[in-house]
Amino acid sequence: MRVIPLGGMGEIGKNLTAIEYGDDIIVIDCGLKFPEEEMLGIDFVIPDVQYLIDNKHKIRGIFLTHGHEDHIGAIPLVLPRLCVPLYGAPLTLALVEHRMLDTRTPYKPSYNNVQPGETVKVGCFEVGFIRVSHSIPDSLAIYVRTPLGVVLHSGDFKLDITPIGGVEGTDLASFAELGKEGVTLLLSDSTNSERSGFTASESIVSRTFEDVFRRYKDNRIVIAAFASNLYRASQVFTIAARFNRKVMLVGRSMISYVELARKLDYINVSSDLLITPQDAERLPPNRMVVLTTGSQGEPFSGLVLMSKGEHRQIRLGEKDIVVISATPIPGNEKLVSNTVNRLFACGCDVIYERDAEVHASGHASREEQKILLNLVKPKYFMPVHGEYRHLMRHSQLASEMGIPARNIFVLQNGDTLELDPSGGARPGLRVSAGSVLVDGVMLGEFEGSLLRERKELSESGILAISLVIDDEYRLAAELQIDSRGSVYGFDRGNMRPDIEAAAVSALENVRAGAVDREVLATEIRKKVRDVIGKNYRAYPGIMPLISMIGTGREARPQEGAKRTRKPGRPRRSGNTKKPG
Ligand SMILES: [Zn+2]
Ligand SMILES: [Zn+2]
């Protein structure tokens, strides 16, 4: 048997783990990751699933722990290539369905609802589900009875003893029962393995909100939270009703998550509590609450637009109090900090992470991780869902709990853990794994060319040179030059003669037979680069666009030329007509 993490190791995001025995594979989660700063223009990142595609005839299903993006976000792109059934709790599957519609893929998945306590037989596996608390309803731990014992995946969890809204918390009894049955391998959430003690209960946030509502009774209250944290939304609704305020939802994802949760009965909110922007205009500010996206400082989110004064309905000012009910995800600190700065500059008061208990994490801290280890008593342990340091701290904790170091495996994406019938376990051969970058609807291994080009463009810009030549390779019209993000734009008066001379000398070389006609574009690029590099120390990307007249034929496609004119279509002149 092999356990193969293809994502989520050494990173927070794109969680995906495969379990393989003989001719059967099951997959747990299929998430995405948000791009690193240097991935210019990339929308998100998904795991490389080549291994699964190569073995798709073996895959019996994808099982989902919960509906967060880092667990379901890659499904619209991965599932149509695997064509296997999906299993998950109702809210999780509804969120997948919503994403499928959003991405407009024609693929129709086979959705299979599962409940805690239930088991499903697929291939040689029996898969079961245990309820856990997390920052989204319907979160599950998943256990798999395999021919070589039980493999338990904690999912994202915490042990909230006082969860809100009458929701039951993590089902400790079921974990204990599984521990009695015997767990061969535990894979457990490492996100908060650097935090000692216990993670705060979601219900403390209610108390903080109440304080805010009491203290700022004359102000409009704006609360920013994760759209997927429906517990948070439901607390806002309850408290708003109690303080006789109406709630206006702002942000596309906030509106759609709340709508979905109401439809599926995860949130109980009366229709007259929610108001439209038009209703809001007629209401005194201290009779309303705005619940918005943007707690991570995401560009174009509700709160960020408000902080820039660019939101169509909400103008913030001295009469407003803003509560950011979240902590920044690692990497988002700067965005959040900028947003807080702008909010203060609008004149409003801001309550954010350090001030008060305005947020409770959804992940177990060290004491909770210990409790899980203690209840389950696994033979082998594999920390998952964390950057490398989180995985290491979690593995140290497991060895403090008495698991021998040789039974703890810190793996990377694509590593495998092999378990054999005699009860042994060891790292096996690696399989292909990595990141696939997604830009719009395009996906691919872009790192090599696309990102390098974008980086070059961001540093030096681009210079386009359009030449119309006759069949003697002489200029037949004035040279057109245009640029974006290049110093040429600022110094075109001086640079133009140099560029023109360089292009003309490239044409001369072709006429003289010193340079092959086929590589005219390359020759122009080289000549122009040399001259402006030498004279101006500028190194923009150079894009020669060559068209031929007089013979009725096009210049042959130039090696490396990005665009050539299509026959019969007039060239758009763009800005090239500008003087100089
Ligand atoms: Zn989660
Ligand atoms: Zn997660």
> Is residue 578 one of the residues assigned to a domain?
no
CA 117/CA 127 separation, integer angstroms: 10
Q: What amino acid occupies position 456?
A: E
Predicted local confidence at residue 167, as pLDDT: 65
Predicted local confidence at residue 485, as pLDDT: 87
CA 481/CA 579 separation, integer angstroms: 10
Q: CB within 8 A of 397, min separation 6: which ones?
A: 193, 366, 369, 370, 373
Cα 42 to ligand 1 centroid, rounded to whole Å: 22
**Do the Cβ atoms of 375 and 403 come closer than 8 Å?**
no
Helices (H), 218-353: 230-242, 252-263, 277-281, 302-307, 333-345
CA 345/CA 533 separation, integer angstroms: 43
Cα 191 to ligand 2 centroid, rounded to whole Å: 8
Picking from 351, 378, 403, the residue at the C-terminal end of a domain is 351
> Is residue 531 one of the residues assigned to a domain?
yes
Give the percent of the chain with pLDDT over 70: 92
Bridge-based pairing state of the strands 480-484 and 462-469? antiparallel
Q: Which of 480, 486, 451 shows the shortest CA–CA distance to 468?
A: 480
> Is residue 395 one of the residues assigned to a domain?
yes
Predicted local confidence at residue 576, as pLDDT: 34
> Is residue 116 one of the residues assigned to a domain?
yes
Q: Could you tell me if 304 and 224 lie in one domain?
A: yes
Q: Could you tell me if 99 and 153 lie in one domain?
A: yes
Task: Give the three-state DSSP class for 238.
Answer: helix
Q: Could you tell me if 189 and 216 lie in one domain?
A: no
CATH of the domain at 68: 3.60.15.10
Tokens linked to 146: 């395999």
Name the closest ligand to CA 158.
Answer: 1
Average pLDDT over residues 224-242: 95
CA 140/CA 115 separation, integer angstroms: 9
Q: Could you tell me if 376 and 347 lie in one domain?
A: no
Average pLDDT over residues 46-70: 96
Alpha carbon distance, N-terminus to C-terminus of the chain:
70
The pTM of the full predicted model, rounded to 2 decimals, is: 0.84
CATH of the domain at 512: 3.10.20.580
Picking from 295, 330, 351, the residue at the C-terminal end of a domain is 351
If you search the block for the tokens 């050494």, which residue do you land on?
10
Cα 156 to ligand 2 centroid, rounded to whole Å: 6
Tokens linked to 136: 């989204």
Tokens linked to 515: 């340079």
Name the closest ligand to CA 386.
Answer: 2
Predicted local confidence at residue 104, as pLDDT: 81
Picking from 444, 476, 511, the residue at the C-terminal end of a domain is 444
**Do the Cβ atoms of 302 and 223 come closer than 8 Å?**
no
Q: Using pLDDT thresholds of 50, 70 and 90, give the confidence band for residue 103.
A: confident
Name the closest ligand to CA 70.
Answer: 2
Query: Where in the sequence is the domain holding 486, given as residue range(s)?
Result: 461-548
* Whole-angstrom Cα Rg for the chain: 29
Predicted local confidence at residue 457, as pLDDT: 85
pLDDT in tens, 506-548: 999 999 888 888 899 999 999 999 999 998 888 899 999 999 8
Name the closest ligand to CA 136.
Answer: 1
Average pLDDT over residues 346-350: 95
Q: Look over the chain and give the mean of its residue pLDDT values, rounded to a whole number.
A: 90
> Is residue 161 one of the residues assigned to a domain?
yes
Q: Could you tell me if 95 and 155 lie in one domain?
A: yes
> Is residue 558 one of the residues assigned to a domain?
no
> Is residue 356 one of the residues assigned to a domain?
no
**Do the Cβ atoms of 230 and 434 come closer than 8 Å?**
no
**Do the Cβ atoms of 43 and 438 come closer than 8 Å?**
yes
Query: For residue 566, how many C-alpha atoms fall within 13 Å in the half-sphere facing its CB?
Result: 3
CA 122/CA 24 separation, integer angstroms: 8
CA dihedral sign, ordered 194, 195, 197, 199? negative
More confident call, 38 vs 25: 25
- Residue 122 is given by DSSP the state E
pLDDT greater than 50 at residue 158: yes
CA 101/CA 96 separation, integer angstroms: 9
Cα 15 to ligand 1 centroid, rounded to whole Å: 10
Return the active site residues.
189, 363
CA 96/CA 81 separation, integer angstroms: 16
Predicted local confidence at residue 553, as pLDDT: 52
CATH of the domain at 275: 3.40.50.10710
Q: CB within 8 A of 223, min separation 6: which ones?
A: 209, 236, 289, 290, 291, 292, 322, 323, 325
Q: Which of 116, 118, 173, 126 shows the shortest CA–CA distance to 148?
A: 126
Burial (CB count <10 Å: 0-12, 13-18, 19+), residue 283: middle
Q: Which of 466, 579, 462, 478 shows the shortest CA–CA distance to 532?
A: 462
Q: Could you tell me if 65 and 183 lie in one domain?
A: yes
> Is residue 574 one of the residues assigned to a domain?
no
Q: Which of 315, 241, 249 shows the shortest CA–CA distance to 276?
A: 249
Q: Could you tell me if 499 and 535 lie in one domain?
A: yes
CA 569/CA 565 separation, integer angstroms: 7
Q: Could you tell me if 31 and 161 lie in one domain?
A: yes
Task: Give the three-state DSSP class for 226.
Answer: coil
Q: Specify the number of domains making up the chain.
A: 3
Q: Could you tell me if 186 and 291 lie in one domain?
A: no
Cα 312 to ligand 1 centroid, rounded to whole Å: 32
Give the percent of the chain with pLDDT over 90: 73
Least reliable range by pLDDT among 116-125, 466-475, 560-569: 560-569
pLDDT in tens, 245-284: 999 999 999 999 999 999 999 998 999 999 999 999 999 9
Q: What are the DSSP E strand ranges found in 347-461?
A: 349-351, 380-384, 416-419, 425-428, 435-439, 442-444
CA 242/CA 261 separation, integer angstroms: 21
Cα 8 to ligand 2 centroid, rounded to whole Å: 9
Q: Could you tell me if 167 and 22 lie in one domain?
A: yes
- Residue 476 is given by DSSP the state -
CA 246/CA 64 separation, integer angstroms: 35
Q: Could you tell me if 194 and 208 lie in one domain?
A: no
CA 359/CA 11 separation, integer angstroms: 22
Q: Could you tell me if 322 and 242 lie in one domain?
A: yes
pLDDT greater than 70 at residue 20: yes
- Give me the helix-helix angle, 230-242 and 252-263, nearest 10°: 80
CA 8/CA 288 separation, integer angstroms: 40
pLDDT greater than 50 at residue 567: no
